[in-house]
Amino acid sequence: MPIVLGIESSCDETAAALVDGDRRVLAQRIASQDDHHAPYGGVVPEIAARAHAERLAPLVQAVLDDAGKELADCDAIAATAGPGLIGGVMVGLVTAKALAMASDVPLLAINHLEGHALSPRLADAKLDFPYALLLVSGGHCQILRVGGVGQYTRLATTIDDALGEAYDKTAKILGLGFPGGPAVEKLAREGDPHAVPLPRPLKGSAEPHFSFAGLKSAVMRAHQSGEHAAADIAASFQQAAVDCLIDRMTRALDTMEPVTALVVAGGVAANATVRGALEGLAEKNGLDFVAPPLALCTDNAAMIAWAGIERLPLGEFAPLDVSARPRWPL
């Protein structure tokens, strides 16, 4: 039974996990940096990198101790090598290189987006390729057809902001603090989703791409007008965002080669309204719906370790001079 150590440090979560080939998470730890970044209303790359540098090595040690394992028990060390904030990615990748060198365990350089894309298979043994994936996080908003490990066809991306970013900015406008997604979701429950007229950018356009910058500006104007309660703005924003997701995903499914399931992953997949709407869309299209448990949706190392487990049979280990990549499309 293979075991892979996963390391994640591409944004503001420092994380390590041990996962085996039977989909068992033997141990995992995540150190969130929310407190570090909250005063700035967003992630500050330099602060993130320093925090990763302080925390990662003890975190790896703790995960090994939790599972009663040693590095030598691992079949590979899988680290996020991009895309992401480059300082943080470098901390994780260089740590993984050192561990690999010291223990003679091979290194896997994992694309963070592949971690999100394959994470639903860690949670659900029955999820088979090919599936349609909506990847919605703080940095990305994409629709992919996942044909197999390493076989990703991108059908759509955002032409400006990612949806998580729009959630975070809406939270900032409404004074809800950071991180914004969960706060906006909570406030939206108390509001009327049809109270504030907001745009649905790109709705109905032929290409299934996303755009959220105009929606964010409209939220700002609605707030500045002083005519609307914050809860109504939050609820109306969320309704507009979900309408866009469903419209764009419907368009993508129309143009995509057949799939068996509709899958959502990434931080925004933790949102109950987003999940509910996508589940309805899957049902309408006769597709299974899979959404990973919340802890697997936001950044974590179990998904990186799992991507490593999926990649092990390919034998594509990384050389010790492999580069960290700030940009790395799937």
Contact 328, 83 (CB under 8 A): yes
Residue 63 Cβ, how far from ligand KG4 at the closest point, in Å? 19
Write phi, then psi, for 329 (nearest 5 degrees).
-65, 150
Task: Tell me: is residue 168 an annotated ligand-binding position.
Answer: yes
Residue 164 binds which of ligand KG4, Zn ion, none (CB < 5-8 A, kind-dependent)? ligand KG4
Residue 298 Cβ, how far from ligand KG4 at the closest point, in Å? 4
Q: Does 137 bind Zn ion (CB under 5 A)?
A: yes
Stretch that binds ligand KG4, among 21-29, 44-52, 90-98, 134-142 (CB under 6 A): 134-142
Residue 234 Cβ, how far from ligand KG4 at the closest point, in Å? 11
Q: CB-wise, 132 or 188, nearer to ligand KG4?
A: 188
Q: CB-wise, 112 or 311, nearer to Zn ion?
A: 112
Task: Tell me: is residue 136 an annotated ligand-binding position.
Answer: yes
Amino acid sitting at position 151: Q
Q: Does 270 bind ligand KG4 (CB under 6 A)?
A: yes
Task: Tell me: is residue 127 an annotated ligand-binding position.
Answer: no
Rounded Cα gap, residues 325 and 308, in angstroms: 18
Q: Does 119 bind Zn ion (CB under 5 A)?
A: no
322 Cβ contact partners less than 8 Å away, ≥ 6 residues apart: 81, 93, 97, 107, 109
Contact 185, 271 (CB under 8 A): yes
Q: Which of 6, 115, 267, 308 binds ligand KG4 (CB under 6 A)?
A: 267
Q: Does 135 bind ligand KG4 (CB under 6 A)?
A: no
Residue 292 binds which of ligand KG4, Zn ion, none (CB < 5-8 A, kind-dependent)? none
Q: Does 161 bind ligand KG4 (CB under 6 A)?
A: no
Binding positions for Fe cation: 112, 116, 299
Q: Which residues of the chain form contacts with ligand KG4 (CB under 6 A)? A: 11, 137-139, 164, 167-168, 179-182, 185, 266-268, 270-271, 298-299
Q: Which residues of the chain form contacts with Zn ion (CB under 5 A)? A: 137, 299
